[in-house]
Chain A
Amino acid sequence: MPKEISERPKVYLSKVHLKGFKSIEDVTIDFKRNFNVLIGKNGSGKSNLIELLFKAINFNRSRDKISFEFAKITLLSTDNHFFSFELERFLRKNNFINNDEIDDRIGVKERFLIDDTLLIDDLNKYSVRKKIEFNGKNIAYSHNKNILISKMGYQPIYSLIIKFNSPEKLDFINAPGSLKYDFDEIVGFLDYPESMNFFTPIILEVESYFEALEENDIDFNTIKVDDILDKFRVQGSILENLQLYSPVEDVRFSPNMNLYHNDNNLIVDNIRIEFKVNNIWMPWSQLSDGTKRLFYIIAETTYSNGLVLIEEPELGVHPHQFNLLMDFLKTQSETKQIIISTHSPKALDHLSKDELDSILIASYDLKKGTQIRHLTTTEIKKAKKYMKEVGFFSDYWMLSDLEE
């Protein structure tokens, strides 16, 4: 197994079978390895699907209550193994003694298959430890998909969801953040901020710096803000993508952070980032809604190395800028799997004739709930005619009967 995680083979979402969540009653969907575009009328269940995918892929029985009836998530590795995780909600019998609440009686049955061979069946107690054999090695089964995938020698699939609105609480961005390094703790920082994911390696970098200072018995009283400011740096790949695909020319941590220390801990306060737009540095509050959304999508997608789920990336974005954003997402999808939902015809015009099978159409059926399908062979043939003889795929979507 390669030491560097990035050198390991990858897995991506190949197929899902989902039941019992909001408008989704029973759907099975195949995904493309790189870019997937979900279209459908309002109320067809696109957002429910995105939300359920995120919940099912990230489900952790030690942390989450299961909010869906069933999910089978099948991941395909770049070395052609299928890993299937099944989660099924069930209700334990009421023992009438403890008079349990319904919530307390909800359990999760878990199954795990490799290449369609069932290895873990009906596992419903968190404490149970089971071993599975893979590639001649015995591996302790883990309920955490990413830990298991990692133990089996693959890159974990950390998924990211970007909804219509950016989260209300974004430490370091829309509110000043604070980091406290405790000398007495084994793990330095006690409270990680509630913010975008791309801050994680920055915080780790700062933490390592403080750990090194502590190990080398450096007097914290001698440390100045200027010494640590250098550690607070937004990743170069994010800055490059922001410059290429958004109006944000640069991002920096404000030099106005404060440093406090006493015998037990060291606090860095008033941490926030600033944005350079039109050659002027400004705080988050001064950015336009469209620029905020572009920053959110570009920074987080660049940072992500797993599955990226994005709801309607076109919202609030100028059409020319959206064109660039789609270029960005298509480029990013060369190395990570991206699923977007969209109402924008222009989003579909970024697909070539050979990529039309990456379109998913959502519709709502009164009896069956949300239905998801790919384009039929006839529709692909007609779409290609439109692309050749009329103009774009969007002409087919707008002028013809694609969603009728």
Chain B
Amino acid sequence: MIRVGLVGEDPNDTASIKHLLEKKYSNKVKFLPLARRIRGDQLESAKLRKSLPIEFTENKCSFVIYIRDLDAFESQSAKVQERKRWFKSLDSVINNKGILLLNIWELEALILGDIDTFNSIYKINHKFSSNPMLQDKPKELLKRITSHTNKQYKEAHCPELFKLLDIDKIEKSCLCFKNFIADFEKKLKKP
């Protein structure tokens, strides 16, 4: 088993991606959250820079997946560069052993990539046939379309929700995730 660390900007995000990737890779990869209870701006903290090498070594990881939301579209290059700078800087503390999963706008865009599963869980029938990478604030959209249903979408639902999503569908509809999977598979072959 290859041991792969996960660092995300929210424990829910990290757990969600862990569950999603496990659907396809659980037979050969063990995913290990490394920066537990770290969230938001703490990803830039000196404390994480110091603790990450310990977690990386103690958990015997081959490499790390960093999960971040862009909070913008991919065309907003200044934001993209800002995230990439952060990734390179933090990754340097473990000798550049990581890859970045940069969610375009935010994690919830991946849910839009498999809207059928979301519809069946929340018992709605929302039509979404456009490109999830072009949807701004997808979290707000999910909240809005479930606002009048018995079960309203909350970020805290994500870890369980991602267990049910179809990873192949998401890969097809979300370019950021497709590119990430390509990087990930390369990394698995040559950690």
Contact = CB atoms under 8 A, between A and B. Distances in A.
Interface of A: 378, 382, 385-386, 389-391, 395, 398-401, 404
B121 interface: no
Given A385-B54, A389-B54, A390-B54, A401 B47 contact: no
A389 B50 contact: yes
B contact patch SS: helix
B165 interface: no
A399 B58 contact: no
A404 B51 contact: no
B38 to A, nearest CB: 6
B37 A390 contact: no
A389 B54 CA distance: 8
B102 interface: no
Nearest to B50: A390
Contacts of A399: 35-38, 47-48, 51, 55
A386 B37 CA distance: 16
Contacts of B37: 398-399
A223 B95 CA distance: 84
A395 B36 contact: no
Contacts of A385: 54, 58
Q: Considering the complex of A and B, which 9 residue pairs feature the smallest CB-CB distances, nearest first?
A: A390-B50, A390-B51, A385-B54, A399-B51, A382-B58, A389-B50, A398-B37, A399-B36, A390-B47
Nearest to B32: A401
5 contacts: A390-B54, A399-B35, A399-B47, A399-B48, A400-B36
Nearest to B55: A400
Interface in B22-67: 35-38, 47-48, 50-51, 53-55, 58
Nearest to A378: B58
B31 to A, nearest CB: 13
A349 to B, nearest CB: 14
Contacts of B47: 390-391, 395, 399
A174 to B, nearest CB: 39
B52 to A, nearest CB: 9
A386 B53 CA distance: 10
Contacts of A404: 36
A379 to B, nearest CB: 10
Given A390-B47, A399-B38, A401-B36, 20 more contacts: A378-B58, A382-B58, A385-B54, A385-B58, A389-B50, A389-B51, A390-B51, A391-B47, A391-B50, A395-B47, A395-B51, A398-B36, A398-B37, A399-B36, A399-B37, A399-B51, A399-B55, A400-B51, A400-B54, A400-B55
Contacts of A382: 54, 58
A389 B58 CA distance: 14
A398 B51 CA distance: 11
B163 to A, nearest CB: 18
Contacts of B54: 382, 385-386, 389-390, 400
Contacts of B53: 389
B5 to A, nearest CB: 12
A188 B183 CA distance: 86
Contacts of B50: 389-391
Most buried by B among A382, A400, A401: A400
B36 A386 contact: no
A388 to B, nearest CB: 10
B133 to A, nearest CB: 32
Interface in B49-107: 50-51, 53-55, 58
Contacts of A389: 50-51, 53-54
A390 B45 CA distance: 11
A400 to B, nearest CB: 6
Contacts of B58: 378, 382, 385
